[in-house]
Amino acid sequence: MLKDYEFWFVVGSQFLYGPEVLETVEARAEEMAKKLSDSQQIPCKVAYKVTVKTEAECTKVMKEANADDRCAGVITWCHTFSPSKMWIHGLGLLQKPWCHFATQYNRHIPNEEIDMDFMNLNQAAHGDREHGFIGARMRLARKIVAGYWEDAPVQKELGDWMRSAVGVAFSKELRLIRFGDNMRDVAVTEGDKVECEIRLGWQVDYWPVGHLVEVMDAVTEAEIDEKLAEYHARYDFATEDLDSVRYQAKEELAIRKIMEREGARGFINSFQDLYGMRQLPGLASQNIMADGMGYGAEGDWKVSGMTAIVKAMSEGLKGGSAFMEDYTYDLEPGKEISLGAHMLEVCPSVAAAKPRIEVHPLAIGDREPPARLVFEGAAGKGCVISLVDMGGRMRMIVQDIECIKPILPMPNLPVARVMWKPAPDLLTGVKCWILAGGAHHSVLTTQATPQMMEDWCEIMDIEFVHIAADTSFENLKQQLFWNDLAWKLK
Ligand code: MN
């Protein structure tokens, strides 16, 4: 998926310096684009396009960037000085994410040799300021990455932004399928689907559960046998109840068929809306998520969409990303932790070891005991992400967490579980999350970073709230108050 996209490298200059300088700039820009493309830190191709010297060239390349579906963003840089009035029209038209890369071709100042020819050719420090002003003056959302272009941390910062930008492209084409409606009476899983499509691009459509049951009825035994072979390859079987596992396979195959037919990358269902189905999909939903799809329980299409986007942005990164729910706390003073799980549907990408297929009764609802994957989450740094509808605008809340190995075994807990310490500490973190209106459902990721989510929100023009080690409840309260006023004015 990431490899389907490229980023256009557009370099600013002018005619003042003569053709030789411009040839050098062009050759260097091509070299830089090639080396960046080959870097481990950079997830997509960086394609050098043009060194712009006129308004016409700038406008042309930005229009082309808009029209090209492969182009997920534009990276600009000024090797020399590029007067910014010529950028106004082009940047004003640009509809793709923009990164201003403040770098220079040479790392060092050649103290002995330096003369005015060198200064005229290598004046990014000068050119990037003129270029920066016009972004600020036009109030354009842009990422600014500063540093030497061959340094790994600089490339990582650029690469992470590219992932956010691909998340934007993915979001704008995202289709979600709702098998059923939201859980009765629940508020936070609701939201304005039209606003979401205008703002984030998601098409969130309903398909009746009866249609899913029809497609399930058409699934063949041979297809189920093949799916069972996949389960055997991926998971350990800790159940004799193969009938339940086969029923989950049938559900999975039918859900996938409809998703594929509709071009959907995420879905929802609800335990209250399983008309004609014998089991709530558990293993079925988990195995679909394992392949990069989004999912939300109780009709939570916002978390389904965010799970799909986070997974798309994180392709190839170590760790996992899963639909998650805060469940219960351990409140030992000074060692407080949170235990997250769900009725069934936690994605196995966050598992510490090979998940087991088990069959147990459901504590709620009125259906047969479903097969599900049971595992403990892997330890490591991560974050939880919640998208809520504030009425008139969307807000994303991201909280830093440290996933830990569960302190003691939980042999009677028949579901996948992850244990974590939220930032800045559990009690402050819970207060902050509640103050900001974060949902009980979230995307838990040990792949995407809060910075990547912030960049995604900035490009999407939605509110971003980060709860981190240095967050205080008082400051957050102030921030939310000002945000509320600012977003009403926007
Ligand atoms: Mn739930």
Task: Give the three-class secondary structure for 400.
Answer: strand
How remote is the CA of residue 239 from the centroid of ligand 1, in Å? 25
Encoded tokens for 450 = 């809060």
Q: What is the pLDDT of residue 172?
A: 97
How remote is the CA of residue 168 from the centroid of ligand 1, in Å? 26
Q: Do both 119 and 198 map to the same domain?
A: no
How remote is the CA of residue 416 from the centroid of ligand 1, in Å? 13
> What does DSSP assign to residue 70?
T
Q: Do both 80 and 199 map to the same domain?
A: no
Q: What is the pLDDT of residue 364?
A: 79
User: Quick check: 403 pLDDT over 80?
Assistant: yes
How remote is the CA of residue 406 from the centroid of ligand 1, in Å? 21
Q: What is the pLDDT of residue 129?
A: 96
Confirm if 420 and 382 have CB atoms less than 8 A apart. Answer: yes
Confirm if 259 and 293 have CB atoms less than 8 A apart. Answer: yes
How remote is the CA of residue 270 from the centroid of ligand 1, in Å? 9
User: Quick check: 284 pLDDT over 80?
Assistant: yes
Q: Do both 237 and 143 map to the same domain?
A: no
Task: Give the three-class secondary structure for 347.
Answer: coil
Rounded Cα distance, 227 and 223, in Å: 6
C-alpha atoms less than 13 angstroms from C-alpha of 376 in its C-beta half-sphere: 16
Q: Do both 182 and 166 map to the same domain?
A: no
Q: Do both 259 and 403 map to the same domain?
A: yes
How remote is the CA of residue 441 from the centroid of ligand 1, in Å? 6
Q: What is the pLDDT of residue 366?
A: 82
Q: Do both 30 and 66 map to the same domain?
A: yes
Exposure string over 179-211, b if 16+ CB within 10 A, otherwise e: bbbbbeeeebbbbebeebeeebbbebeebebee
How remote is the CA of residue 281 from the centroid of ligand 1, in Å? 14
Ion ligand 1: residues, CB within 5 A, are: 297-298, 325
How remote is the CA of residue 323 from the centroid of ligand 1, in Å? 9
Rounded Cα distance, 216 and 106, in Å: 62
Tens of pLDDT, residue by residue over 471-488, are: 999 999 999 999 999 999
How remote is the CA of residue 466 from the centroid of ligand 1, in Å? 23
User: Quick check: 420 pLDDT over 80?
Assistant: yes
Tens of pLDDT, residue by residue over 199-209, are: 999 999 999 99
How remote is the CA of residue 384 from the centroid of ligand 1, in Å? 15
Rounded Cα distance, 132 and 425, in Å: 38
How remote is the CA of residue 116 from the centroid of ligand 1, in Å? 65
User: Quick check: 360 pLDDT over 90?
Assistant: yes
How remote is the CA of residue 63 from the centroid of ligand 1, in Å? 44
Per-residue pLDDT band at 429 (split at 50, 70, 90): very high
How remote is the CA of residue 179 from the centroid of ligand 1, in Å? 15
Determine the structural domain holding residue 267 and report its residue range.
Answer: 175-489
Q: What is the pLDDT of residue 445?
A: 98
How remote is the CA of residue 330 from the centroid of ligand 1, in Å? 20
How remote is the CA of residue 428 from the centroid of ligand 1, in Å? 23
C-alpha atoms less than 13 angstroms from C-alpha of 76 in its C-beta half-sphere: 32
How remote is the CA of residue 297 from the centroid of ligand 1, in Å? 6
Rounded Cα distance, 456 and 154, in Å: 18
How remote is the CA of residue 342 from the centroid of ligand 1, in Å? 6
Last residue of one domain, picked from the residues 172, 189, 224: 172
Per-residue pLDDT band at 365 (split at 50, 70, 90): confident
Residue 38 sits at the vertex; the CA angle it makes with 33 and 41, to the nearest 5 degrees, is 100
Q: What is the pLDDT of residue 36?
A: 98
How remote is the CA of residue 193 from the centroid of ligand 1, in Å? 20
User: Quick check: 422 pLDDT over 90?
Assistant: yes
C-alpha atoms less than 13 angstroms from C-alpha of 375 in its C-beta half-sphere: 24
Q: Do both 106 and 153 map to the same domain?
A: yes
Q: Is the overall model pTM greater than 0.95, yes or no?
A: yes
254: buried, middle or exposed (CB in 10 Å: 19+, 13-18, 0-12)?
buried
Q: What is the pLDDT of residue 241?
A: 96
CATH of the domain at 28: 3.40.50.10940
DSSP string, 65-94: HHH-TTEEEEEEE-SS---GGGGHHHHHH-
How remote is the CA of residue 232 from the centroid of ligand 1, in Å? 28
Last residue of one domain, picked from the residues 140, 172, 204: 172
User: Quick check: 423 pLDDT over 80?
Assistant: yes
How remote is the CA of residue 341 from the centroid of ligand 1, in Å? 9
Q: What is the pLDDT of residue 488?
A: 92
Tens of pLDDT, residue by residue over 297-329, are: 999 999 999 999 999 999 999 999 999 999 999
Q: What is the pLDDT of residue 303?
A: 98
How remote is the CA of residue 225 from the centroid of ligand 1, in Å? 31
Q: What is the pLDDT of residue 243?
A: 97
Q: Do both 404 and 475 map to the same domain?
A: yes
How remote is the CA of residue 289 from the centroid of ligand 1, in Å? 16
How remote is the CA of residue 271 from the centroid of ligand 1, in Å? 10
Torsion-angle region of 277 (φ positive above 0: left; ψ -120 to 50: alpha; else: beta): beta
Confirm if 358 and 374 have CB atoms less than 8 A apart. Answer: yes
How remote is the CA of residue 473 from the centroid of ligand 1, in Å? 26
Q: Do both 112 and 162 map to the same domain?
A: yes
How remote is the CA of residue 374 from the centroid of ligand 1, in Å? 17
User: Quick check: 149 pLDDT over 80?
Assistant: yes
Q: Once rounded to an integer, what is the mean pLDDT over residues 57-78?
A: 98
Rounded Cα distance, 393 and 485, in Å: 12
Provide the number of structural domains found in the chain.
2
How remote is the CA of residue 343 from the centroid of ligand 1, in Å? 7
How remote is the CA of residue 233 from the centroid of ligand 1, in Å? 29
Q: Strand 356-359 relative to strand 337-341: parallel, antiparallel, unpaired?
A: unpaired
Last residue of one domain, picked from the residues 137, 172, 207: 172
Per-residue pLDDT band at 490 (split at 50, 70, 90): confident
How remote is the CA of residue 411 from the centroid of ligand 1, in Å? 22
Q: Do both 250 and 137 map to the same domain?
A: no
How remote is the CA of residue 105 from the centroid of ligand 1, in Å? 51
Q: Once rounded to an integer, what is the mean pLDDT over residues 258-283?
A: 97
User: If you average pLDDT over every residue of the chain, what do you get?
Assistant: 96
Q: Do both 142 and 259 map to the same domain?
A: no
How remote is the CA of residue 298 from the centroid of ligand 1, in Å? 6
Q: Do both 378 and 244 map to the same domain?
A: yes
Per-residue pLDDT band at 186 (split at 50, 70, 90): very high
How remote is the CA of residue 40 from the centroid of ligand 1, in Å? 37
How remote is the CA of residue 74 from the centroid of ligand 1, in Å? 39
Per-residue pLDDT band at 406 (split at 50, 70, 90): confident
% of residues, the chain, pLDDT over 90: 97
